[in-house]
Structure 1
Amino acid sequence: MMGYLDHDALDRAMAFARTQAKNTDFLNTYGDLAARGDDDALFSLGCAFSTGSHGIGCDMIEAHKWFNLAAARGHEDASNCRAEVAEEMSAREIAEAQRRARAWLKEARARH
Structure 2
Amino acid sequence: MAFTDVETAQVHDAVKIDPTGEDLCKLGLLYSTGQCGVIDYIEAHKWFNLASLMGSDTAKYYRSEVAAEMDGDQLAAALTAAREWLSTRH
- Say whether the fold is shared (TM-score over 0.5): yes
Distance 1:103 1:31 in 2: 17
Of the candidates 26, 30, 41, which is equivalent to residue 60 of structure 1? 41
Compare 55-64 and 87-96 and name the one that shifted more: 55-64
Amino acid at match of 2:74: E
Distance 1:91 1:83 in 2: 14
Sequence identity of aligned pairs in percent?
38
RCO comparison, higher one (Cα < 8 Å, 6+):
2
Alignment of 1:19-98 (within 5 A): 22=5, 26-27=8-9, 29-35=10-16, 36-53=18-35, 55-98=36-79
Question: 1:68 is paired with a residue of what secondary structure?
Answer: helix
Amino acid at match of 1:44: K
Distance 2:83 2:47 in 1: 11
Amino acid at match of 2:40: D
Count of matched residue pairs: 85
Q: TM-score, normalised by structure 1?
A: 0.68
Large movers: runs of 4+ above 2 Å: none
Question: 2:57 is paired with a residue of what secondary structure?
Answer: coil
Larger radius of gyration: 1
Alignment root-mean-square deviation, CA: 1.8
Q: TM-score, normalised by structure 2?
A: 0.84
